[in-house]
Amino acid sequence: MIMGQGPQIVLMGPGPSNLSATVQLIMTDPVISHMDPIFLELMDEVMKMLRRLFQTENEMTIPVSGTGSAGMEFCFVNLVEPGDAVVIGVNGLFGERMCDVAERCGATVHRVDAPWGEIVPAEALASAVEKVKPKIVALVHAETSTGALTPIEEVSRIAHAAGALLLVDVVTSLGGCPVYVDKWGIDAAYSATQKCLSCPPGLAPVTLSPKAMSVATNRSTKVQSWYLDVNLLANWWYQERVYHHTAPITMNYALHEALRVILKEGLNNRWKRHQDNHLRLKTGLKEIGFELASPEGHELWTLNPVKVPEGLNAGEIKKELLEKYNIEIGEGLGPLKDRILRVGLMGESSRPQNVDYFLNSFHEIVGKS
């Protein structure tokens, strides 16, 4: 198949999401040098818009060249030194990945586990923090693998009362539901462009508080990754403009335009749109006898886990939605494999017409089963 010749896919999986027409178009602009004054000006504008998106005044707020997992590594490699104690809440695949990355940095990892699909209880984290006295407390705000949304404010109070930094994964929440980095006292956060930002995969927005930056700049050992060393990246992004790496020019064009689109819509309007479409999906599923698997009161608007009853084949439903209706959704992972289907309502893909199209198509498929 020649790319560009195929049908338009309605991207309603765990990412990527569909792009706006202007983001798609901007990527056809001519490539310029990453040292061109025009590109340096674009970098400044991207940082300013990202601060508004993260709701922060943090100077170190940039898009790391790499996907969301690069954002995760960026936070851990800069803040963790060998032997540091780290408490990590684990309630899905990306909490598991946090543990793996932290261990590779030499951390002594103390897991606080919750069943996949549930939230990590604040009291369980408090107990671990009191016992361990960690340098960092880390958890996933919006667990993409399960659709669970974990509250942050109480965890923030627990971490800071113990003198720890708070590190949060906001990959599937940033731009789709409220994220308040400064108000919630988050010291380090990372996201990805391809989910609620409706930008192609390839950049990881990150932000570090002044306290986190102080930790990163006063290490007793070198950051284990040269490419992700915030001390070098700061010199490139907003200090002396010292060359570090060849930035992905076209991806930064796309992010600049995606952020412009988001801020033009307005964060409150955008959050409400995502909430409304989540509720539209939830109501529509209930009308045809299905329900969401995420915990009541902690449902993630942007990623909806649909329970698959006994007798239905999740993989076959996913396959038929793609082949017959050009709708892409995700299957469950880990212990939730074959038990849920993951329906993403992110960014440009979070539209009432997409919800209705999915519901009608899904009903046609399951009605035959």
Residue 368: is its pLDDT beyond 90? no
Query: What's the CATH number where 66 sits?
Result: 3.40.640.10
Q: What angle do CA 292, 297, 300 make, to 5 degrees?
A: 55
The answer to whether the beta carbons of residues 140 and 92 sit under 8 Å apart is yes
The per-residue pLDDT for range 178-198, each reduced to its tens digit, is 999 999 999 999 999 999 999
Under the banding of pLDDT at 50, 70 and 90, the label for residue 241 is confident
According to the model, what pLDDT value does residue 238 have?
84
Is residue 4 domain-resident?
no
Average pLDDT, the chain: 96
Helices and strands in the chain: count of H runs, count of E runs: 12, 14
Is residue 313 domain-resident?
yes
Average pLDDT over residues 249-261: 98
- pLDDT-above-70 percentage for the chain: 98
Residues 258 and 332 in one domain: no
According to the model, what pLDDT value does residue 6 have?
60
Residues 224 and 317 in one domain: no
Residues 203 and 330 in one domain: no
According to the model, what pLDDT value does residue 239 have?
80
Q: Which of the two residues, 241 and 103, has the higher pLDDT score?
A: 103
Question: What's this model's pTM, rounded to 2 decimal places?
Answer: 0.96
Residues 243 and 297 in one domain: no
The per-residue pLDDT for range 31-62, each reduced to its tens digit, is 999 989 999 999 999 999 999 999 999 999 99
Q: Find the length of the chain.
A: 369
Cα separation, 110 vs 87, whole angstroms:
5
Residues 170 and 297 in one domain: no
Residues 144 and 36 in one domain: yes
| Domain edge (last residue) among 263, 282, 306 | 263
Which residue, among 180, 176, 190, 174, has the nearest Cα to 138 in the 3D structure? Answer: 190
> Residue 209 is part of which domain span?
21-263
Residue 334: is its pLDDT beyond 70? yes
Average pLDDT over residues 158-163: 98
Residues 231 and 271 in one domain: no
| Domain edge (last residue) among 240, 263, 286 | 263
Under the banding of pLDDT at 50, 70 and 90, the label for residue 160 is very high
The answer to whether the beta carbons of residues 90 and 114 sit under 8 Å apart is yes
- pLDDT-above-90 percentage for the chain: 94
Average pLDDT over residues 297-324: 97
Under the banding of pLDDT at 50, 70 and 90, the label for residue 86 is very high
**C-alpha distance from residue 133 to each of 40, 218, 234 (Å):** 42, 20, 30
Query: What's the CATH number where 341 sits?
Result: 3.90.1150.10
Overall number of domains in the chain: 2
Residues 154 and 54 in one domain: yes
Residues 74 and 31 in one domain: yes
Which spans in the chain are helix H?
21-26, 37-54, 68-79, 93-104, 122-132, 153-161, 210-217, 230-237, 249-265, 267-287, 314-325, 352-368
The owner of tokens 């927005």 is: 205
Is residue 1 domain-resident?
no
Residue 366: is its pLDDT beyond 90? yes
The per-residue pLDDT for range 261-279, each reduced to its tens digit, is 999 999 999 999 999 999 9
